Structures are given as structure tokens and as C-alpha cells.
Amino acid sequence: MIQYQQYGRVGEKVQKVLSKIRKGQLEPVYFVQGTETYLMNLVKQTFLNDVLTQEERELNISIYNAQDTSLEYVVEDALSMPFFGEKKVILLEQPTFLLQEKTKSVTDGALETFLTYLEEPNQDTILVVLAPFDTVDNRKKVVKQLKKVAEYIDVNPLSEKETSHFIQDVILAEGYAIDKQVLALLLERVGYQLSLAMNEVDKLFLATMDTKKITKDSVLSLVPKHLENNVFTLVEAVLKKNVEQALLIYRELILQKEEPIKLLALLLGQFRLLMQVTILEKKGYQQQDIIKQLKQHPYRVQLAMKQSSAYHLKDMIVYYQILSETDYALKTNTTDKHLLLELALLKTMIQESENETENFTKTITRSF
């Protein structure tokens, strides 16, 4: 995937920090946190390629995985002087010691050494902590200290609007054209996931090199509909009790070699999300609150809110129960798995919503 570092309204804060880094306005410690893979790689490549000269990079860049490298060793490297250069860059990946779970690979002594370094970091070293997590344990002393001294870069998923702006900027900057409706189609097919969208944009550039125009036909022919979007459409058909459409979508997915167990897991996940969104909305949660509470991609939550508003919670719970029973059957039964899941889908669509679900409803509601 091409890294379009100079393009895209990545979000004012991220863009501002990246701009400062490229201009040489550097801090001794950076804390990069979030789950958007493309943005994480963009920030990482900025530190690897735009901070040091080519000669300096050969001797002054170190990349460590915190799960298999002691923090004492990382600190020792950070305290050492650069080789034939003014600065050195250290990237610390997978810092699981920032999470709630206790990490066996990091001792209390190692954490103290790291904390001591953060109190007075080496000004000749640029230490970059890359945390690909949606959240960290803010109660931990090491997290508090890191947030206190480091330049924070948030690389969590962009909003739908920000993703659209980013992709549009990349396309226009490369000299290509795309209509708003076609851009929306492209983003819908990849679920507004930036990393997936960038992969598809690279393909579309190659395919439309002669015309420099990305059309609806090129998107439909080259950009596959993301599996989760197909599952969303399948769930919509089930909720509407549209047997013909539901079976058509399901059989198309099977023809695409999707495994029934995998499909069922996605179906259960989608119904679970719908129930969670419905319950949280009834409690007065707004969209941003729900995204934060459920730690889901903004686009998924937006779709779920739109979908859940048209249907009853009791129906969703009944369908979820049926699919949960099917999940057990798929994993323990030697019967044709494709047939089992198809029968389960049929069962959900002929099931009456008046089923006795009060106890299960109370159980689900209490979990939020």
C-alpha cells in the first residue's frame, strides 16, 4: 500500500503533529495510540523516513517489541548517544504493559526504570511508543506519566466524514477525478475503513490510468463488497423476513468460499451489536457515547443505530437465541454445516416475535 503522507485531512491534531515532525520540530517522547492501521503505519513511516538523513538512519534507528525485549535494554539504548548524527529514533511496539492485564514479561523493576527515564528523557533520542489499542489502563502510573510527558498522537478510526475527506484528497492530489456518489459507493463497499479504502484506491489508480476518472462501473467491478457489509445486508433481510433475498445473499457468500462457522460468528456479532445499540439508546446514550462504550468503528455503530431503530428488541433476541443454538450445533454436529446455517436463517424468518423471551431480555439488559 502506498503511503500518501502529504495528503489528506487526517484530523487537525494528527496532521499538525506530523507537520511538526517533518519540519524537525521534535519531542523526546511520543505516545501513538489507536487501532486505525493505516494511520499507525503513516505515523511510523514518518518517524522512520522523515526525521533522520539516509546516512543517519543506518545506525540510529532501533525497533523493539515490548513483549520480547526488556524495558531496561530499551532505556539503555535510549540513554546512549547517536552514532555520527544529532538524533536517534527508537520505536517501541506492542507495549502491552499499558493495558489493564498484568504482563508477565515486564517486571516491576523494569517499569520503574522506564518511569525514571520518562521523568528525564534523553534529548538526543526520539522515543516513540506505538500502542495499537483502543484504550489503555489510565489508572496505571506508567500510563499517567507517559501521557504527561509525551506528545500524544491519536490514531483511532476516523469518522465517516474524515475518511471521506482523506480519500477524496488522495484521489484529487494524484490527478484523478471521482464523483461524490462514486466516492460514497467506494467507502460503503469497504465499510468506511481507511486501510481497506487505501488498498482499493491503489487498484483503482492502476485500472483507470488512461482516463484518470474513477467511475461507478470501475468501483463495482474492482472493489469487492466487504464481508461485514454483506453480513449487514443479510441481517437486514432476516429482520425484514425477506426469505428470498436472505437465501440469495447467503448462497452467494457460500459460493465465495466463506465458511459457515465464520459467517455465523459475524451474524451473531451483528445481532449482538444491534441489541447493545438498542439498549444503550433506550438509556439515553448518543452516537459518540455508544462508540466509546462499545469500542466499535463509528460507521458500524451508525449503521446499527439506523438498522435497530426499525425493529423490535424482542425479535433480535429471538434471532440471537436461534443462531446461538446453531453455533453449538455447527461445532458439535457432523451434519452439513451449510445446510444447518441455512435452516437456522429460515427458522429466524418464520419465528413469531411473541416468543417467550422475557428472561433473556432481562439478562441482556442487565449486562449494560
> Is 355 a residue whose pLDDT tops 50?
no
pLDDT band at 351 (very low <50, low <70, confident <90, very high): low
The structural architecture, per CATH, of the domain 12-154 is: 3-Layer(aba) Sandwich (3.40)
What SS3 state is found at 33? strand
Name the CATH topology of 227-366.
Zinc Finger, Delta Prime; domain 3 (1.20.272)
* Same fold yes or no, 12-154 and 160-222: no
> Is 353 a residue whose pLDDT tops 50?
no
In the chain, where the domains are located? 12-154, 160-222, 227-366
> Is 168 a residue whose pLDDT tops 50?
yes
Q: Which residues contact 110 (CB under 8 A, 6 or more apart)?
A: 70, 71, 72
> pLDDT per residue over 76-118, tens digit each?
999 999 998 889 999 999 999 999 887 777 888 999 999 999 9
Residue 68, Cβ neighbours under 10 Å: how many?
Answer: 8
pTM for this structure?
0.73
> Is 366 a residue whose pLDDT tops 70?
no
pLDDT band at 13 (very low <50, low <70, confident <90, very high): confident
What is the per-residue pLDDT for 9?
52
DSSP assignment of 75-120 equals HHHHHSPPSSSS-EEEEEE--GGGSSSPPTTS-HHHHHHHHHHHHS
- The mean predicted confidence, pLDDT, of the chain is 88
Instruction: Single out the residue of 236, 249, 158 nearest to residue 197, CA to CA.
Output: 158
> Is 64 a residue whose pLDDT tops 80?
yes
What SS3 state is found at 158? coil
What is the per-residue pLDDT for 361?
47
Distance from C-alpha of 238 to C-alpha of 266, rounded to nearest angstrom: 14
pLDDT band at 181 (very low <50, low <70, confident <90, very high): very high
> Is 5 a residue whose pLDDT tops 70?
no
CATH class, range 160-222: mainly alpha
What SS3 state is found at 235? helix
Distance from C-alpha of 178 to C-alpha of 219, rounded to nearest angstrom: 10
> Is 197 a residue whose pLDDT tops 90?
yes
Q: Residue 27 gets which letter from DSSP?
A: -
What is the average per-residue pLDDT within 33-60?
91
What is the per-residue pLDDT for 10?
56
* CB 121 within 8 Å of CB 23: no
Find cell 538523513 and name the residue: 53
DSSP assignment of 214-225 equals E-HHHHHHHSPP
pLDDT band at 357 (very low <50, low <70, confident <90, very high): very low
What is the per-residue pLDDT for 296?
87
* CB 118 within 8 Å of CB 145: yes
Reported in sequence order, the residue ranges of 113-222 that DSSP labels E, i.e. its strands, are 125-131, 151-154, 177-178, 213-214
> pLDDT per residue over 114-144, tens digit each?
999 999 999 999 999 999 998 899 999 999 9
What SS3 state is found at 219? helix
